[in-house]
Amino acid sequence: MIGDIVETKQCQLKDPMDLFHSGQVVKICAPMVRYSKLAFRTLVRKYSCDLCYTPMIVAADFVRSAKARDSEFTTNKGDHPLIVQFAAKEAQVLCDAARIVCPFADGIDLNCGCPQRWAMAEGYGACLINKPELIRDMVRHVRNQIDNPRFSVSIKIRIHEDLKRTVDLCQKAEATGVSWITVHGRSVEERHQPVHYDAIKIIKQSVSIPIVANGDIKTLKDAENVHHLTGADGIMVARGLLANPAMFAGYEETPLKCIQDWVDIALEHGTPFTCFHHHLMYMMERITSKQEKKVFNVLSSTSAVLDYLSDHYGV
């Protein structure tokens, strides 16, 4: 997990809060299950992504199991600024997890937005937006027990049907010492409905800490529009970056150079084939015909993928 980065000194870590105070909109890669791992973070950082999150990690498993730590958290010297996102429901467990990653990351994020049934059933994710006192306790614990004052503690939320409750939650979180809040502009029940950017704007106007807007941002133009609509300090993108990791650098679709970079980075990191292939399927979605997809999507080995890319795209 951490063997190759032990030499990283605290002073080398970039401070995410400096990004929010830079006057520029902060461009952020979202926590994505299976996908926002080290190799992909390395790729998007080459294309103007300012800040990256790990996939969500269940804090209790992470603290309890060395095996979970090794498989869930990999980083290196170039992987900064980095936020580790945890699912947690107990203050001390979140604190213990934060302490483990503190020397190697720039902050943690508490997931209060995951709407998946298993997460809600376990008391994780979006059910926390109905427990502002628990969020307060968890944030305070981390703040009190992590010595590094530059280590950020943020939360990612969904909105309530009654927006007053969300505003109240955000104001309480701000008073507790949260560094910033990422708002996915949908309620727990909403999946593919339009994002409530007006709600994000109201939240932004109700607090003085940075607010990050999240939801349905597919292009750099979308990101600029959402910034103007909401006044958000940062824009977090998930599927838009999967489809086009060069999006933040202004590319309308994945350039061949980016595909080449992914191949190089993935092979260097020893990325498992399924993950390597899936990322390419996403990246090539907009630049391949239906017929090409039929062939490419069923390739079953790294060498077959490399041959295909070489033959069809000169990669």
Domain ranges of the chain: 16-249, 256-313
Cite the annotated binding site for FMN by residue number: 31-33, 85, 184, 238-239
Confidence tier at 204 by pLDDT (50, 70, 90): very high
Which H or E run includes 142?
A: helix 132-145
CA–CA distance, 182 with 200 (Å, rounded to integer)? 9
Copy the structure tokens of residue 224.
Answer: 């600029």
Dihedral over alpha carbons 40, 42, 47, 49 (to 10 degrees): 90
Identify the DSSP state of 182.
E
Residues 259-272 pLDDT 10s: 999 999 999 999 99
Identify the active-site residue in 95, 102, 114, 170: 114
Is a pLDDT exceeding 50 seen at residue 229? yes
Copy the structure tokens of residue 58.
Answer: 């269940």
Confidence tier at 91 by pLDDT (50, 70, 90): very high
Q: Long-range contacts of range 76-79, CB-CB < 8 Å, 24 or more positions apart?
A: 76/4, 76/5, 76/38, 77/5, 77/7, 77/8, 77/12, 78/42, 78/45, 79/38, 79/41, 79/42, 79/45, 79/52
Neighbouring C-alpha atoms within 13 Å toward the C-beta of 59: 28
Average pLDDT, the chain: 94
CA–CA distance, 54 with 266 (Å, rounded to integer)? 16
Torsion angles phi and psi, residue 278, rounded to 5: -60, -45
Q: How many CB atoms lie under 10 A from the CB of residue 304?
A: 14
CA–CA distance, 188 with 158 (Å, rounded to integer)? 6
pTM for the model stands at: 0.94
Average the pLDDT over 279-302 and give the result. 95
Strand segments (E) across the chain:
26-29, 51-53, 57-58, 82-87, 107-112, 152-158, 181-184, 211-214, 234-237
- Antiparallel, parallel or unpaired: β 152-158 and 181-184: parallel
Identify residue 125 by its one-letter amino acid code. Answer: G
Average the pLDDT over 1-11 and give the result. 35
- Give 171's contacts (C-beta < 8 A, 6+ positions apart): 206, 207
Average the pLDDT over 4-30 and give the result. 71
Q: Long-range contacts of range 184-187, CB-CB < 8 Å, 24 or more positions apart?
A: 184/113, 184/156, 184/157, 184/158, 184/159, 184/214, 184/215, 185/159, 185/213, 185/214, 185/215, 186/158, 186/159, 186/215, 187/158, 187/159, 187/160, 187/161
49 catalytically annotated: no
Q: Is 35 helix (H, G, I), strand (E, B) or coil?
A: coil
The fourth-level CATH superfamily of domain 16-249 is Aldolase class I (3.20.20.70)
